Chains A and B, each alone.
Chain A
Amino acid sequence: MRMQSPRFKQNAREALEDAQLQRALTNVEHGFIGKRQMAADALPEFEALRDNAKAIKDHTLAHLDLYLEAYEEKVTASGGHVHWAQTAEDARAIILDICRKADAKIVTKGKSIVSEEIGLNEHLTENGIQPVETDLGEYIIQLRGEPPSHIIAPAVHVNKSEVETEFRRAHTHLDPDRNLEEPTTLLNEARAVLRQKYFDAEVGITGANFLVAETGSSVIVTNEGNGDLTQTLARVHIVLATLEKITPTLEDVSQILRVLARSATGQDSSVYTTFSTGPRRPDDPDGPEEYHVVLLDNGRSDMLGTEYQEMLRCIRCGACMNHCPVYHAIGGHAYGWVYPGPMGAVLTPSLTSIDEAGNLPNASTFCGRCESVCPMRIPLPKMMRHWREREFERHLQPASARFGLGAWAFLARRPALYRTLFGLAIRTLGAVAGKKGRFASLPLAGGWTKYRDLPAPEGRTFQQMWADRGGQTERKDAA
């Protein structure tokens, strides 16, 4: 998809004014947070499992090359094919080639956000192959011609009435006067339309939540069962997955599964967890005749050994965005690319560039909720801070921001001057605000006071109050 992240500020403003979107976004806040908390509280070992899941991925990343080699060997031994793709372009070419050899006209797809990352649907369409998304949310946004706005609930920004409009437009073979008021009716209609597609498609493409080095298996975790129908009924199954999906053993997968669904939707387990190993075997009555895995790098290997390596632990549960006040306010599309919310704010600059995506790591209040719920304990705020530093070093911010930061840094390095100036400023502000204790407008603070009053300082600085309590004001060992 085309990158819209440089437009972030404008996107965010438009999102805030979009009443329809704002209504849909309340579902994120109410739908996910309580459910995750209940699931986590119901499992006493949850925190220890998070630690273990983190340790498993850290170990895997430190030995990534070796596990990939072991995995490839097992896939080949089970009759499958592994294709290595360095870039999005490589992956698109490999997949198109497999589709052409299969003489594919229709390709069904289980939900794969990586396929959004590489712009697969556009590429297949341009080459005369019709991609059909089968996950209900993905199907809805495909009809609307939109990218996903959430990594596990791609159509979370869409309201029921909008789904109805889209289905009436697309499903012209059905009675135009049919009643589509209930979500159940909408779901049944999509189920009936898509059921036939599974049989018609020559190729089925899925993502993978895990690739198991021990056995050469790919694992998908779904609730709808669309991924399973996609990979079972097509003659050719293609798994599109990125390098860091590798997990050493079935036991390691089991550990991470215990935190994945709980963090994502608050389920103890997703409905379908499917381990696939190679193509149809001699005694198999069903299943695909060909099994291909496209292993995509697209910038991941460049993150290894850097301050962003920990991001490669991400298992795409979506908990960080579900708990993010910025995501709640603006939704996923404003972020302008495939990965929204805190994980996107870290990953997007890594996979694209800080020049294009510099706004994203700045769109955070650093409240820390994302890190506190991340099942893989990824220090998201710390990494966003690293991106802000990079951005400052590379002079990418506007002059006013650089001037402000520069001025503050000048003062912060001169404690006496800092104390005098800030003491004076705070006394003045406190006096001017008077009994009201707040400002309805203030020079240089218009961005704040346009929407709400600014509380006034109470006349004394923190350092003064600290000194009154007998606190130390200077480090004794200071030179």
Chain B
Amino acid sequence: MSGRAEILAGLKKSLATSGEAESARKNAVAARLKDTPAGIIPARGQLPADARVALFTCMAESVQTSVEQVAANDDVPAAVARLLAQRNLPACLRIGADRNLAAMPWEANPALEVRHGPSDGKDATAVSHAIGAIAETGTLVLTSGTDNPTTLNFLPDLHIIVVSRATIHGDMEAVWSDIRQTYGKAAMPRVVNMVTGPSRSADIEQTLILGAHGPRALHVIIVEG
């Protein structure tokens, strides 16, 4: 027998003692996988729009994410240029093929050098577009693919994430509904990254330090329109 057959046979033997009929067990599993019942959603994950955005901002800032709001997509490149200047960073950034980002007037800021594609580790700054956010924990949700390559989330020192106000959800469960709508039931993009603040470590004497292996800073731009 292979490891697989032996392990499964052992499990079935141990579990047979529970007295539940095999057909009932199978039905219970099939039903849960099909219905994906939601559990307890904390009250703070169920706020109306304005309070939800306020909570998101508060939670994100509490984990050292900086947050700003702009009125429209067209305002993003100027906000990015301003941020890089403020922080004395090179006016150079990397983005993927995301349609929202591509439609922004980057050329209106000629000083900004925009590179495209996945990161090779030499980029100081990357800009990604999140599919949504979670107010409950101040979390941004990013998915892999050409639009927003996963390497952009981890290699640059500064990660700027653009998110539409309308996609700031209260709870994590709302994100799963969105993903099922986009990718189909029980299907996932290759990677879903949930990001709550810049990278950190407390492995040396429990002292919290930012910028362990991933970005040293995380900046969120909420687009109102």
Q: Which of B75-83, B101-109, B205-213 contacts A (4 or more CB under 8 A)?
A: B205-213
A270 CB, min distance to chain B CBs, angstroms? 7
Of chain B, the residue at the smallest CB distance from A63 is B29
Contact B194 A272 (CB under 8 A): yes
Contact A153 B118 (CB under 8 A): no
Q: Does B88 contact A (CB under 8 A)?
A: no
> How far apart sit A184 and B146, CA to CA, in the bound complex (Å)?
34
Q: Does B21 contact A (CB under 8 A)?
A: no
Contact A183 B207 (CB under 8 A): yes
> How far apart sit A269 and B29, CA to CA, in the bound complex (Å)?
28
Q: Which residues of B contact A159 (CB under 8 A)?
A: 205
Contact B212 A184 (CB under 8 A): no
> How far apart sit A305 and B189, CA to CA, in the bound complex (Å)?
37
Which residues 103-151 in B have Cβ within 8 Å of A in the complex?
A: 117-118, 121, 136-139, 144-146, 149-151
> How far apart sit A102 and B147, CA to CA, in the bound complex (Å)?
29
Contact B190 A215 (CB under 8 A): no
What does the 1/0 interface line of B206-223 toward A look like (CB < 8 Å)?
110101111100000000
Contact A183 B186 (CB under 8 A): no
> How far apart sit A305 and B138, CA to CA, in the bound complex (Å)?
40
> How far apart sit A173 and B63, CA to CA, in the bound complex (Å)?
35
Known: A191-B212, A271-B195, A285-B118. Is A233-B17 also a contact (CB below 8 A)?
Answer: no
Q: How many B residues are at the interface, by size bracket?
A: 35 or more
Q: Does A49 contact B (CB under 8 A)?
A: yes
Q: Which residues of B contact A188 (CB under 8 A)?
A: 211
Q: Which residues of A contact B137 (CB under 8 A)?
A: 268-269
Q: Which residues of A contact B146 (CB under 8 A)?
A: 283-285
Q: Which residues of B contact A84 (CB under 8 A)?
A: 2-4, 7
Q: Which residues of A contact B215 (CB under 8 A)?
A: 225
Contact A45 B196 (CB under 8 A): no
Q: Which residues of A contact B50 (CB under 8 A)?
A: none
Known: A187-B211, A232-B151, A271-B63. Is A301-B14 also a contact (CB below 8 A)?
Answer: yes
Q: Does A121 contact B (CB under 8 A)?
A: no
Contact B139 A269 (CB under 8 A): yes
What does the 1/0 interface line of A222-237 toward B look like (CB < 8 Å)?
0111101100110000
Contact A74 B14 (CB under 8 A): no
What does the 1/0 interface line of A137-177 toward B look like (CB < 8 Å)?
10010000000000001111011100100000000000000
> How far apart sit A398 and B18, CA to CA, in the bound complex (Å)?
37
Contact B204 A186 (CB under 8 A): yes
Q: Does A387 contact B (CB under 8 A)?
A: no
> How far apart sit A284 and B42, CA to CA, in the bound complex (Å)?
35
Q: Give how many A-B residue pairs fall within 8 Å (CB-CB).
A: 260
Residue of A135, A267, A271, A274 touching B203 (CB-CB under 8 A)? A135
Contact A251 B29 (CB under 8 A): no
Of chain A, the residue at the smallest CB distance from B62 is A268
Count, chain A residues at interface, CB 8 A? 101
Name, among B14, B190, B200, B214, the residue most crowded by chain A CB atoms within 10 Å (CB to CB): B190
Contact B200 A223 (CB under 8 A): yes
> How far apart sit A212 and B135, CA to CA, in the bound complex (Å)?
24
Contact A305 B15 (CB under 8 A): yes
Known: A248-B33, A272-B194. Is A243-B7 also a contact (CB below 8 A)?
Answer: yes
Q: Which residues of A contact B18 (CB under 8 A)?
A: 62, 305
> How far apart sit A136 and B204, CA to CA, in the bound complex (Å)?
8
Contact B154 A228 (CB under 8 A): yes
Q: Does B36 contact A (CB under 8 A)?
A: yes
Q: Which residues of A contact B17 (CB under 8 A)?
A: 305
Q: Which residues of A contact B214 (CB under 8 A)?
A: 224-225, 228-229, 271-272
Residue of A70, A85, A271, A305 touching B196 (CB-CB under 8 A)? A271
Q: Does A127 contact B (CB under 8 A)?
A: no
Contact B8 A65 (CB under 8 A): yes
Contact A86 B15 (CB under 8 A): no
Q: Which residues of A contact B29 (CB under 8 A)?
A: 63, 66-67, 70, 248
Q: Does A456 contact B (CB under 8 A)?
A: no
Contact A284 B190 (CB under 8 A): yes
Of chain A, the residue at the smallest CB distance from B32 is A248
Q: Which residues of B contact A184 (CB under 8 A)?
A: 209
Q: Which residues of B contact A66 (CB under 8 A)?
A: 25-26, 29
What does the 1/0 interface line of B4-24 toward A look like (CB < 8 Å)?
101110111011011010000
Contact A86 B200 (CB under 8 A): no
Contact A271 B8 (CB under 8 A): no
Which residues 99-115 in A have Cβ within 8 Å of B in the complex?
A: none
Which residues 171-205 in B have Cβ within 8 Å of A in the complex?
A: 171-173, 176, 186-205
Contact A74 B186 (CB under 8 A): yes
> How far apart sit A223 and B213, CA to CA, in the bound complex (Å)?
9
B4 CB, min distance to chain A CBs, angstroms? 4
> How far apart sit A283 and B143, CA to CA, in the bound complex (Å)?
13
Name, among B118, B194, B204, the residue most crowded by chain A CB atoms within 10 Å (CB to CB): B204
> How far apart sit A284 and B149, CA to CA, in the bound complex (Å)?
8
Of chain A, the residue at the smallest CB distance from B136 is A268
Q: Does B170 contact A (CB under 8 A)?
A: no
Q: Does A365 contact B (CB under 8 A)?
A: no
Name, among A83, A232, A265, the residue most crowded by chain B CB atoms within 10 Å (CB to CB): A232
